[in-house]
Structure formats: C-alpha cells, structure tokens
Structure 1
Amino acid sequence: MSRLLDVLQAERNMQIHQNLRGHGTRPLEP
C-alpha cells in the first residue's frame, strides 16, 4: 500500500511542477 501512495504522491508532484512551470508564478488554483 505504501508503494501505491508513493506513486500517487509522485504523480501529484509531477502535476504540480508542470502547473507551476506552465503558469509561472501561479500556485495550484481552479
């Protein structure tokens, strides 16, 4: 189970990094 959570966290981090890169200085917001 811990491995699954790690994978999910990694994917989330990737998405966050992509969003920050795309928007520049904008945090994750709807």
Structure 2
Amino acid sequence: MASLNEDNPSYFAKSGDGLFFVIVFKEFVA
C-alpha cells in the first residue's frame, strides 16, 4: 500500500476513500 501510495498519489487524490486512506496513512507513519 505504501509503495502504491507513493507511485500513484493522484490516484488516491481522485478518490474520497483514497484521500482518507492517505491521511490515515500519513498519521500512522508520523
């Protein structure tokens, strides 16, 4: 998931659920 997020940021940005996942992912990593 991490590599997929880094490779396709625009893909997640275009999806509401994806955007939420990115936020949670960043919070988890931080």
Q: TM-score, normalised by structure 2?
A: 0.52
Quote the residue 2:29 is aligned against. 17
Aligned residues: percent identity? Answer: 0
- Is 1:3 the counterpart of 2:8 in the alignment? no
More helix by share: 2
Structure 1: give runs of 5+ residues left out of the alignment. 19-30
Alignment RMSD: 1.6
Corresponding residue pairs, total:
17
Question: Which segments of 5 or more consecutive residues in structure 2 lack a partner in the other structure?
Answer: 1-13
Q: Which runs of 4+ in 1 moved over 2 A?
A: none
